[in-house]
Structure 1
Amino acid sequence: MATVAFLGLGVMGFPMAGFLAKAGHKVRVYNRTASRAQQWLETYSGEAFATPAEAARGAELVFACVGNDNDLREVVNGEQGAYAGMQSGSLFVDHTTASADVARELAVIGAERGLGFLDAPVSGGQAGAENGALTIMVGGEEADYQRALPFIQCYARATNLLGPVGSGQLCKMVNQICIAGVVQGLAEGLHFARAAGLDAEQVVEVISKGAAQSWQMENRYKTMLAGEYEHGFAVDWMRKDLGIVLDEAQRNGALLPVTALVDQFYSEVQALGGGRWDTSSLFARLTNVRSFEDEAE
């Protein structure tokens, strides 16, 4: 068993850190809102600290799962950041969905201090985190990956090393590109089924047994048809992720017309007041599309 730190106890980090504690590791936690860390201590065994540096002090591995690039820099850098508390030879594992650039930036700073770094964004949503069934995409050195693997497996059902630092974030971008297109396709299909006078649930029962089947179809079609959008990853966060994707595409020359269009559609969902709705709320936009067309005219 090892001493580890976990920075960021949001909807994903809270159960992930919990799985490390349940596995018997000594877990030192930090959260920007201290009451959240106290809530975690009411559920799991560990210690809470006032700064990332204090939480990281004495930890063999430090895990983080925060909001964006700037949040990540905030918990890593500076006198109160994790790097200030980490000893040479320890390893930082970042589960934030962030840019590949920030991963490379922090890996270089860490290397100067004798620290290892893995970028390891996750997929599977809140349910995956709570069930210990996340998919984790990793970038970094093979030796660092093998060192972190037994810990990552506490809350993952699948994980793979994709290449050097930044590769995990690039793989997560592919993941979000694919999700965006699939959810929009499902929303349009259900919308068309209703417009055509079909029983949409009956349609899905049939086509979900064929080539149209997807995780989104199996897990979201009923809630989409019911107009319930409180079941997963928020639109605001998806737009953050798609912004990272589109910025990266500008640099590498990838053409992403569908992704850019779906990002625009999500901005319209935000305009409907759905920033905290889950990503399947693209279906809600279709029932309000005329209002957007009228505004354009």
Structure 2
Amino acid sequence: MSDLNVSFLGLGVMGFPMAGHLANAGYKVTVYNRTSSKAQQWLSTYSGVAQTNAIAKTPEEAAEGADIVFMCVGDDNDVREIGTRALSRMKSDAVLVDHTTASADIARELDAACRKQKVHFLDAPVSGGQAGAENGQLTIMVGGEEASFHRIQPVIKNYARHSQLLGKCGSGQLAKMMNQICIAGIVQGLSEALHFGQKAGLDCNAVIDVISKGAAQSWQMENRASTMLSNTYDFGFAVDWMRKDLGIALDEAKRNGSTLALTALVDQYYADVQKLGGSRWDTSSLLTRLK
């Protein structure tokens, strides 16, 4: 499959290593990033791989001639702009894969635009954070056509430990909303437990060592409890981005009639963290508002 030409649009904390895994796997990768210095940094980092990689000055240039175009940008507006520009130069039967966490509406909108140009589209948001991207251990939730999903699987396996097709276009984004809803509740529960333990005078590290072996165990407990106890939050998935994701989920809930009372509450707790200056802190910083 290394004879495929692939492009990657967006070299943030997720896209940079994801595109790097493709280069290391032997794909010829053309990258685009709004900040050109970031693209140059990427090219310098992966200049030692066998295939000839390249920087494109525009999304249009990056997409031209590509068999698969991957995109991991910021929000719906970015997806619409960058995706539409890339689509304008994509060849027939190519696949556009959006790894951005965005709304199901923008996924459906871009899918419709792709169909008009005989291009295939998959919404494929990821979970696993920066560490998952760097270690090639992401989980990918996909919406779209089965044939297109099977076409990209050999490629995305280079940065994913698991990927799954969940239904028609938009299903990937809806699944990611469920993912973020779960995380919000779990982090709040962990924050309250640690706050309770500290007030009770317990050795919380010792308690976590015990309860993480039982039914309370979670990824957040295993990976964030120790940093929360040390009041360390200058890493990970930023509060600003979590609020963006929860906002998408809450908007979708209004449309489909579901009740997200806890999610709405935790979203406001994150607003409190922002007021404390924690816009760029990791999402585990919910504990700070309890101190």
Equivalent position amino acid for 2:41 in 1: Q
1:290 corresponds in structure 2 to none
- Runs of 4+ with >2 A deviation: none
Offset of residue 206 of structure 1: 1.2
The size of the alignment, in residue pairs, is 284
Deviation of 1:85 after TM superposition, in Å, equals: 1.3
**Residue type of the partner of 1:184?**
Q
Check if 1:187 corresponds to 2:191: yes
Q: Which of 33, 39, 46 in structure 2 is aligned with 1:31?
A: 33
Q: Residues of 1 paired with 2:72 and 2:112: CA distance? A: 19
Q: Which residue of 2 aligns with 1:63?
A: 70
* Equivalent-residue separation in structure 1 for 2:83 and 2:204 (angstroms): 48
CA distance in 2, matches of 1:198, 1:231: 27
| Partner secondary structure for residue 227 of structure 1 | coil
Q: Match for residue 229 of structure 2?
A: 225
- 1:92 is paired with a residue of what secondary structure? strand
Unaligned runs of 5+ in 1: 288-297
Pairing 1:1-297 to 2, within 5 Å after superposition: 1=2, 2-45=4-47, 46-77=53-84, 81-287=85-291
Q: How far off is 1:231 after superposition?
A: 2.7
Q: Which runs of 5+ in 2 are unaligned?
A: 48-52
Q: Counterpart of 1:85 in 2: which secondary structure? A: coil
Segment drifting more, 266-275 vs 222-231: 222-231
Return the TM-score normalized by structure 1: 0.95
- Give, in angstroms, the shift of residue 252 of structure 1: 0.4
For residue 40 of structure 1, what is the amino acid of its counterpart?
A: W
Query: How far apart are the structure 1 equivalents of 2:235 and 2:185?
Result: 19
Cα displacement (A) at 1:106: 0.3
Q: Deviations over 1:52-95 (max 9, x none)?
A: 00000010000000000001111122xxx101110111000000
Q: Deviations over 1:202-257 (max 9, x none)?
A: 11111111111111001111100100002310000000000000000000011010
Aligned with 1:283: secondary structure? helix
Q: Give the TM-score normalised by structure 2.
A: 0.97
Aligned-partner residue type, residue 32 of structure 2: Y
Please state whether the residue corresponding to 1:275 is helix, strand or coil.
Answer: coil
Aligned equivalents of 1:227 and 1:197: distance in 2?
Answer: 17
SS at the partner of 2:189? helix
* Correspondence for 1:294: none
- Once the two structures are superposed, residues 255-286 of structure 1 have per-residue CA deviations (whole angstroms, 9 ceiling, x without a partner) of 01000000000000000000000000001111
